[in-house]
Structure 1
Amino acid sequence: MGRTSDARERILDSSRRLLRTRGYTALGVAQICDDAGVKKGSFYHFFDSKQALTIETVDEHWAEERRGLEAVLAGAGGPVERLHALVECLVGTQRADHSESGAMYGCLYGNLALELSGQEPEVRGRLAKVFDDQVAMVARLIAEAQEEELIGRGTSAQTLARSMVAQIEGTVLLARVRNDPTLLDEAWPSARRLLAVA
């Protein structure tokens, strides 16, 4: 029986790391291949282009992150406690990055969305879907909290969730610019104020 190649997984792992640390435009296929320890021919055996790889990288990253967020959604505690845990889950990667490397790399989706604002419509479409999924997850908890009258009903759960996701992304961006993980400590207090938690 022949040996199974792990080249595809290595390419995806390298892509995820390098997209977060270097960005899309500055990253070439040759750099990804060097980092993954594969030849360019192997790259094009698995992926048609850097764009195709980026879309798959976003999909895989989101699938993994989503599992963690779904576990929080289904966890113990009331909706406000689970919202708090969800926020901590979303910013936790940034704290881990800084702890391990001394640098904050920001949110993969947010970084790519900013960098590709006027180009790569297929990648941007995939990023929009990820943010829509995040908003829907947050909206489920906000609606639950509204039902229990822990959050006012004056604004729809969907609108509040969009604002909350945007606020978290903004907090991560500011923390990255200053390379200061303590700024992430404001993510939950800001969300509480936005939601007017009772």
Structure 2
Amino acid sequence: MPVTQGDTRRSILDAAQRIMSRKGFAAVGINEVLTAAGVPKGSFYHFFGSKDAFGEAMMRAYFTDYLADMDRVLAEPGRTAAERLMNYWQNWRETQSLDDCQGKCLAVKLGAEVSDLSETMRLALKEGTTAIVDRLERTISAGLADGSLTIGASARDTAEALYDMWLGASVMAKIHRHVGPLDTATTVTRQLLHL
């Protein structure tokens, strides 16, 4: 089966996610990404007008994949909304902590860095993280409806607080090089949802 332009573009974006989740955005050159993707150096500007446009495309591709995975976890049949939420946080703990997240922790790694470098990347991060909070809010509301959880604030405020806490815990786990902050986030999540 021949390689399409879409395959090549996706290969570049996937390689960039893996590398930048370890090194950050500014520390990675285009040539490093193209070498890792196995793509000729002259191909980059065929797919992306600039490093900034490339960064935006990378963030959008990341969130498309992330949200699809999140939807799968939050729609798991035969479980209460509270169980689905806790499965989501457990998945977060396993895939978005410490150093070897294989490109799955890009929002954690790049959030602060690129928000100051690129307005288009900041907006892609804002849209992606808002979509995550929207899904958390819907699942919390479903948990209120099925009686599997209770909260002391609105579903939106609880979703935002949980997401903010988990982002912060992920950063602290990287700083301390252990998952203790994520274990604390799990405990506090259970408390906030009265589980």
Give the TM-score normalised by the residue count of structure 1: 0.85
Structure 2 unmatched runs, 5+: none
Structure-1 residue corresponding to 2:38? 37
Structure-1 residue corresponding to 2:121? 123
1:134-170 deviations in whole A, cap 9, x for unaligned?
1011111111222344444541100100000011111
144-153 vs 66-75, which moves further: 144-153
Q: What letter corresponds to residue 193 of structure 1 in structure 2?
A: Q
CA–CA separation in structure 2 for the residues paired with 1:3 and 1:63? 22
Number of positions where the alignment pairs a residue of Structure 1 with one of Structure 2: 193
Task: Report if aligned partners of 2:151, 2:158 keep a CA contact under 8 Å in 1.
Answer: no
CA–CA separation in structure 2 for the residues paired with 1:71 and 1:3? 28
Task: Report if aligned partners of 1:106, 1:172 keep a CA contact under 8 Å in 2.
Answer: no
CA–CA separation in structure 2 for the residues paired with 1:9 and 1:43? 12
Partner SS state of residue 172, structure 2: helix
Structure-1 residue corresponding to 2:48? 47
1:47-72 deviations in whole A, cap 9, x for unaligned?
11112222222222222222221112
114-123 vs 183-192, which moves further: 183-192
CA–CA separation in structure 2 for the residues paired with 1:130 and 1:183? 23
Give the TM-score normalised by the residue count of structure 2: 0.86
Structure-2 residue corresponding to 1:88? 90
CA–CA separation in structure 1 for the residues paired with 2:3 and 2:33? 23
1:105-149 deviations in whole A, cap 9, x for unaligned?
882112222112323011000101111011011111111222344
Structure 1 unmatched runs, 5+: none
CA–CA separation in structure 2 for the residues paired with 1:9 and 1:141? 31
Structure 1 runs, 4 residues or longer, greater than 4 Å off: 1-6, 103-106
Partner SS state of residue 118, structure 1: helix
1:11-60 deviations in whole A, cap 9, x for unaligned?
11211111101101111212222222323310111111112222222222
TM-superposed deviation, 1:193? 1.8
